[in-house]
Every structure is written in structure tokens, then in C-alpha cells.
Amino acid sequence: MKRILPFLKRYWGVLRRPSVHYSLGALTLGGFIAGIIFWGGFNTALEATNTEAFCISCHEMENNVYMEIKETIHYSNRSGVRATCPDCHVPHEWTDKIARKMQASKEVWGKIFGTINTREKFLEKRRELAEHEWARLKANDSLECRNCHDYEYMDFTRQSPRAAKFHSRSLGTGEATCIDCHKGIAHRLPDMRGVPGW
């Protein structure tokens, strides 16, 4: 420790001294470029973790939820538009995105400690995980759904009468949000006892 301290002191001295060899301009430019590289790298890393391939690189995600989504309309439909995991689970806003990524460290934790590493454990924990997602979507007024489906542009005359009736009654008034009625749109549901509306 005693030997490190003077060493650090010397370096600090160097760092504090104004530059003699490089002009301020070059330094600023260098900093700028480094910034871009750093920022870009950060964003690239962020983008890479924003793909379905990344999500299902964990068997916990692939063997349970991914298998189930394959049967649903969000995996295959006549128009060929697909919703992938991040479309529904990762916010598009940058700050929200970072917040979700911080939250995702829980998943890394879960991976390491194997909280859902078998089908049985997953099924046991499913209600809890689903509740988190319901709460999140309820809180942001189903933002992820609305990124693709916008109430403003829904043509009720083209919807089935049943859908139009439910939507016009509750969406216009802001009484309910998508997730209130469309639980289990992409995956099988956990034990629904006590869930409002079930």
C-alpha cells in the first residue's frame, strides 16, 4: 500500500498538468471520437441484447415461453408481421430501456442460481413472473402493445362486433388497458385463480 500511494500521486500529478504536446483542439477531437466509439459500442451491445436470438440463448426462455409463442398469432399470421420478445418486453424509449436492462440483471442472477432452470421450477414460479409483467404493462398503459396496435387507428367497423363492443366501451374512456383483457396473448397462462376478470 505504501508503495502504491506515491505511484498514484505521481500519475495524478501528470494528469492534472496541462498538456504541453497536444493542442486543446486535438484533445477535444480525440475525446469526441472516443466518445462516439464508446457510445456506439454501448449502443451496439444494447442492440445485440435486444434480439430474440439473445433472449432464447437461455434455455429457460427458449424451452418455455418461446415454444409457446410459436402457436400464436404473434409468431405467424397472414401479413407476416412478427412480434419478437423485445417488442413486447423491452421498452423503445432509451431511458426506459436502460431501466429494463438494469432490472434484467435479476435474470442473470436467476440464471446463475437456477431459479427456473427446470420446467417444474418454471411452472411454479410462472404466476409470480407473469404478475411482474402484468404490473409493468398496467403501469405503462400497455405501451409495448400500443407501439404496434394504436387505439386511435383501430377501425371498429372492421373488427368483429364483440371486439368493437369491448374496445369502444373501455378503451375510449381509459377504463381498461390492453393487458386487462388480453392476458396470455403470447404465452400459456399460469394458475389464474384470483386474477381479476378470470
Binding site for another protein (CB under 8 A): 71-73, 160-162, 165-166, 184, 188-193, 195, 197-198
Helix (H) or strand (E) segment spanning residue 168: helix 161-170
Of 106 and 121, CB closest to another protein: 121
What is the smallest separation between the CB atom of 178 and another protein, expressed in angstroms? 15
Residue 61: CB atoms within 10 A of its CB come to 19
Binder among 46, 63, 89, 140 for ligand HEC (CB under 6 A): 89
Residue type, 174: G
The CA distance from 146 to 108, in Å, is: 28
* Residue whose cell numbers read 423485445: 86
Q: Are 85 and 52 in contact (CB under 8 A)?
A: yes
Of 143 and 185, CB closest to another protein: 185
* Residue whose cell numbers read 441484447: 49
Binder among 58, 91, 124, 140 for ligand HEC (CB under 6 A): 58
What, of ligand HEC, another protein, none, does residue 198 touch, CB below 5 to 8 Å by kind? another protein
The CA distance from 42 to 48, in Å, is: 10
Binder among 52, 124, 140, 195 for ligand HEC (CB under 6 A): 52
What is the smallest separation between the CB atom of 39 and ligand HEC, expressed in angstroms? 21
Does position 79 interact with ligand HEC (CB under 6 A)? The reply is: yes
